[in-house]
Each structure stands twice: as C-alpha cells, then as structure tokens.
Structure 1
Amino acid sequence: MNSVKSKILISWVGGNDLKAMEGGTAGPIAETLEKASFDAAELLYNYPEEQVQSYLSWLKARITVPIQEYAVKLTSPVDFGEIYQQADKHLARVNSASKELSILLSPGTPAMQAVWILLGKTRYPCRFYQASIEQGVQEVDIPFDLSAEYIPAARDLNSLKISQLAVTEVPIGAAFDNIITRNPRMQTLKAQAQILAEREVPVLIYGETGTGKELFARAIHNAGPRANMSFVAVNCGAIPTELVDSILFGHKKGAFTGATSDEPGVFQQASGGTLFLDEFGELEPSVQVRLLRVLQDGSCRPVGSIEEQEVDIRLITATHRNLMEAVADGTFREDLFYRVAVGVLHLPPLREREGDLLLLAEILLSVLAEKDTGLKHKNISPNAKNIILSHPWQGNVRELQSTLLRSALWCQGKTITASDIRQALFQMPEKEPSVLEKDVAQGIDIQSIMGDVARIYIRRTLEYTGHNKTRAAKLLGLKNYQTLNNWIEKYHIS
C-alpha cells in the first residue's frame, strides 16, 4: 500500500506578503495556505530580518500549517545566477520521494518566478500555484514540458545566459537602422519618425504590445538634437496610484512615510533630454490634470515642496489604447490629448507587416546565435516557416523572439522543425471577434450579423421599457409596434 506523500508549499516572501500586516488583503502566502491544503510551508526571504520576523509572527498566528523560514543572501533580487543557485540548493534539500512539492509563483520578482518554473519543470517536478486578488488561489498548468526537450539542448547554458537570451530590451543606442523592415507601411513610418526626430514636437506612438514603440522612441531621441542628453523611460501602467506624483515629479525628505531623502522625479531626471511615457493611456484623470499643468508651465512641484522646479523635456508618449475614443467617452482629457498628439505614429501589428515575418525570424535567430554559440548554425525548415506565417502573433515581435528561443533550445538537431515551433507556441484561448471586427477576407454572413445586432438591441430595449412594445418601437426608430413584431418574428426573438 502506497504511503501518502507530505504536501510542501515553497515560496519566496514577497512585498505584497509583508504589506498584508497593514490590513486589506491577506497576501499571496497566507491566502494560499488558507485556501489550499498543505502539510508544511518552506519560505525563503531576502528582506531585512526584523521586517520578516514581524511578518512570520503575524502569519503563524493566522494559520496552523507548520512554517520553516530561511534567510537567503542575494546581492540583487533580479540576479538570475544567484537566484538559481539558492533555489536549486533549497529544492535539492527539500526534495524526497515522501514529499509532494508545490511552488507558489506569485511572490518575488519575475526572475525568481522564471527560475522556479525552470527548476520545477526539469530537476524537481513540482506543482505550481498562484494567488491574486482578482482570481484567488489557483493551481497553474504550465503549458509545456522542459524535462525532455530542454535539458539535452541547453545543458551547457547557465541561468544567466538563458535570461540574457530572453531579454528584449531596446538598445540604448537604437537608431532607425535597428528597425528592420521590408514593409512599405513601416518604411513610411520610419521616414515620418525621422522627420519628427529633427524637430522638438511631442510625439504620440500607437501600437499593440511588442510592436516596437520604445524602439521608435529611442531612435527618435538618438536622431534628434537632444541625442547626447538623457533618455528616461517610465511605464505609466506600472506606477502605484499612491506613488504617481512622487515618481513623476519627485518628493522632499519627510513628505510621506518612507521618504528618507529628497528624490527627483522622472521629469527632473529627463530635464534637458527626452521623457518617454509608455502606457500613457493608463494615467488617471486626476493625474492628467497635473501632467497638463507641467507641460504648459514647464515646471513642477515635488511632493512636500512649496517651490516650483523648472524642467525642459522633449515628450514622447506611447499607448495601445485608442485615445480618441477615451476623449469621446470622457476618460481622457481632450486638452492633454492635443498637447501630446502633435506628431502621431500608428505602428501596425506584426501580422499586418507583409514581408517582415520571415525576415525578422531569421534576424532574431541570428541574434540569439551571437549571444550563445550553442545556438549557432540553427535554421528554420520550410514547414516551420509556414507555421510562423500562419500564426497571428498577438504578442508581436516579443512573442516571435521568445518562441524562436524556446524552439532553438528544444531543437535536437540543426534544423528547427514544424514540431519544434508548435511545441514552443503558447496556445491562447481564442476570442470571438465582435460584429465589427470580423475578417471579411474569410467571408462573412451579413444577414446573420444583422440578426445578431437586432436581437441584442431589441431584447435590451424591451427590458428597458418593461416590454412596452409601442415605446420600444419608438426608441428603436421603428414605425410602430407592428413593425417591431415583424422584426421579432423575423429574427426569432423570444
């Protein structure tokens, strides 16, 4: 008779866990130990001892699961090499035939999460969990196996090399020559961007994630009169609401709890050079007002200060949102929109860049080979190219690069096959296109679409009027309730 394995949860202690003591949410670790069944927990931490001990006392008073904590010394929480060594050492110590290991992915840095997945899918088979406010505690199905394909091809790669291969950071010296394209639309955009670069007008760049917005922004900066000055990039969507003023405009010592010294904001850091605000459409209306004032006056006031500081920046913004629609529905200020949208560039998604897919695939593969000799002389088979051409690439160039990296690592020979590409692709759930987004190239049933629209609005209007057909017909722009009855019959509306 098989003995029951002891269920062990392993996790880094993260910032959201430490914040849990302040009230509000329980934090990923406490939430997981309360909602899922485990016999023990093993926690690694790299925070100050007194801070973690306070948290552990709070956690142990809250749950009954035995907890063992381990202090880990890291010079940086994003150093893949150090994280790999510490995590590998810990899993080797805990791993045994009598234990079922589970890893909580939510706490810690992206580097920590990546290392957990690498080790948990290869050397120490684990189950994976994640915890979030939106979706609660869930067991995660990592949609690929690394143990069979990854280890033979990548046995000579250390974790630092793997992390460097996966990095898609824009080069600091990015120029328009770094924007590789044969597509006429992209070539036109490059020419337009070069014209904008020579002038100091604000530039707004539209495009999906991974289309190269920051690459264009850096190229504009490097080709302009401020090329020798600083280029400061900030992701507006990643700024916590309570810190947005401090990050944008700086703060004075003592302005709030934790403000132990004067700190410049990104406007001051970029003064004389270029400020790139990515995910610009995520800024809340209250922040938009303060931002508009800075752009109008050329000065900003740090949090906790009574004095204005002059700033001189060239502004480049980027967003995936349609700001014209946001202006129309009142979620984005019209005056701010027209101030930043002087030079506007609409970057097309990769799937619409005819002639570029295979060109980029070959170049990205050669770049990977330059970074690691173990990936040299890899080539893509014709069938694999067909799959690349047929894939929608919702993640654009970033998705293409990461897919090529996975397929090159797993490929057993010199040729990346169709099977290698299929295994490397993440299959995202398909979203049914709305009635206004259907692909006419595939053919559409216009009568069916008209019926769908009619059913939606007739049902909605009847509910609104309490099934008063005379009033509903008037609201729908129909002659009378008899005409409405004809539509109800025609489209089989119950």
Structure 2
Amino acid sequence: MNALFSWLGRTDLDKMKQSAPAAIASLALNHEVPFDKIIVMANTWEGEWDKYRSWLELTLERAGRPCHDIKIISAQITSPIDYTSINIEAERWLNKLSNSSEHVAINLTSGTPAMIAMTVLIGKGKSNTHFYQVTPENKVLFVDIPLDFGKEYVRSASKNVASKAVSKPGKAQSFDLITAESPVMAAIISQAERLAKTDVLGFGAG
C-alpha cells in the first residue's frame, strides 16, 4: 500500500474554492504511484474539512485515481506552533502509516513550520518514507534530506562534551578565587599554584 501524509494548509482550502489543486491535491494527482490512503492532519478550519475531503475525492475520481480512503484527522495539538503536541500527533500517525504501508509520501508544503519540522524529524527515522514539496505552479518535487539527524545529534553532543573537557579554566584566575586567611594555608595554595604551572600529571603513577 502507498500512503500520503500531510498537514492541512490554508492554501489547500483556498485553492479548493477555485476548483484548483494546491499541494495536497497536486501530490495526490501527480505522484508517479497513486496513493491507496491519504491522511491529512488538521487542527483548525473544522467547518471546511468535509467539503475539502469531498472535493478531493471527486477530483481524484475524475482523474482515475484511488479516492475511497481519504481521512482528515483532528490533530489534538495545543497550537500550530507547539512542538511537543505536534510531535505526539505526527509520530502516532506516521507510525501507523509506516507500519501498514510499503511507501509513505510526506508533504512538506502544507502546514506551519513547526508541523513540517517535526514531521521531517520523525519521518527521517523511518526507512519507507519519502519527502515532497509542491511549487506554486503545482510542480511536485522530490526532496532529498541527506542528514541523519540521530548521527548529527550524537556528533554535535560529542563535540560539545569534548570542547568542555579540553577547555581549562585560567589557572591564575582559579587560584585567585581561593581565599586563605592563615599563613600555612596561603603557603599551600602558593605551592599548588607553582605545581599547576608545570602541567605535571599523574602523581603516583607507577
């Protein structure tokens, strides 16, 4: 089974009113392999969902494409820019589609930047997902996202840890922060400071 995953965009609805395709419809009409299932996530404009779904079904039927499994899902998100709730909803449905489909196409044109960003992060973790964008002229473009986000995160985190490990505090400044009231303690600190300047490591190593 081939599936399409998308968020619903305002442009998709506005173009529908002109009987013209936008990103979702263009992908459904022009993708080289017809989609057996289309999942569209939405969290606003509820009054237009049924009309859009009916229009998309009719548009695909006229083009001789599968049109009987199109769902507009109410996304339970806090807001269109809330990454946490968007992540939960996108992961839930992408997991379902990835597990039940041979290929999953992901539309990166519709939706808010937060929706698209989280969808990319989740989709990159699955082997059967592919990303697409649609131009204003309704040209469908395959998007190659070469980054392995997991590896990039580990590499970035490792560099950060290594950088902190090798960056030594200024020795003179460090010893200046130590207060000593007794002559004996002052002498010990002075001796420690002299030893530190020699960068001697591994006392007692045999």
TM score, norm. by length of structure 2: 0.67
Unaligned runs of 5+ in 1: 1-5, 154-406, 417-494
Q: Which residue of 2 aligns with 1:118?
A: 121
Write the distance in 1 (CA, Å) between the matches of 2:128 and 2:159. Answer: 22
How big is the shift at 1:145? 1.6
Does residue 33 of structure 2 align to residue 30 of structure 1? no
**8 A Cα contact 1:130 1:139, kept in partner:** yes
Q: Give 1:11's aligned amino acid.
A: S
How big is the shift at 1:74? 2.2
Q: Give 2:162's aligned amino acid.
A: K
C-alpha RMSD of the superposition: 2.4
How big is the shift at 1:134? 4.0
How big is the shift at 1:39? 2.5
Q: Give 1:91's aligned amino acid.
A: L
Q: Which residue of 2 aligns with 1:53?
A: 50
Does residue 162 of structure 2 align to residue 414 of structure 1? yes
How big is the shift at 1:413? 5.2
What is the SS of the residue equivalent to 1:61? helix
Tell me which of the two structures has the higher relative contact order, counting C-alpha pairs closer than 8 angstroms and 6 or more residues apart: 2
Matched length: 156
C-alpha offsets along residues 1-43 of structure 1, whole Å, 9 cap, x if unaligned? xxxxx21110011111111122164110001110102222111
Does residue 80 of structure 2 align to residue 77 of structure 1? yes
Q: Give the direction of change, closer, same or farther, for the CA distance of 1:85–1:57 in structure 2 (3 Å limit).
A: same
Write the distance in 2 (CA, Å) between the matches of 1:12 and 1:51. Answer: 14
Q: Give 1:133's aligned amino acid.
A: P
Q: Which residue of 1 aligns with 2:189?
A: none
Q: Which residue of 2 aligns with 1:20?
A: 15
Moved segments of 4+, more than 6 Å = none
**8 A Cα contact 1:105 1:129, kept in partner:** yes
**8 A Cα contact 1:74 1:83, kept in partner:** yes
How big is the shift at 1:97? 6.5
Find the partner of 1:102 among 80, 101, 105.
105
TM score, norm. by length of structure 1: 0.30
Does residue 6 of structure 2 align to residue 11 of structure 1? yes
Q: Give 2:132's aligned amino acid.
A: Y
Identity level (%): 31
Q: Which residue of 2 aligns with 1:313?
A: none
Write the distance in 1 (CA, Å) between the matches of 2:58 and 2:3. Answer: 19
How big is the shift at 1:104? 0.5
Q: Which residue of 1 aligns with 2:170?
A: none
Write the distance in 1 (CA, Å) between the matches of 2:55 and 2:49. Answer: 10
Q: Which residue of 2 aligns with 1:179?
A: none
What is the SS of the residue equivalent to 2:95? helix
How big is the shift at 1:53? 1.0
Q: Give the direction of change, closer, same or farther, for the CA distance of 1:75–1:60 in structure 2 (3 Å limit).
A: same
Alignment of 1:136-175 (within 5 A): 136-150=139-153, 153=154
Alignment of 1:238-387 (within 5 A): none
**8 A Cα contact 2:80 2:86, kept in partner:** yes
Write the distance in 2 (CA, Å) between the matches of 1:47 and 1:97. Answer: 27
C-alpha offsets along residues 284-325 of structure 1, whole Å, 9 cap, x if unaligned? xxxxxxxxxxxxxxxxxxxxxxxxxxxxxxxxxxxxxxxxxx
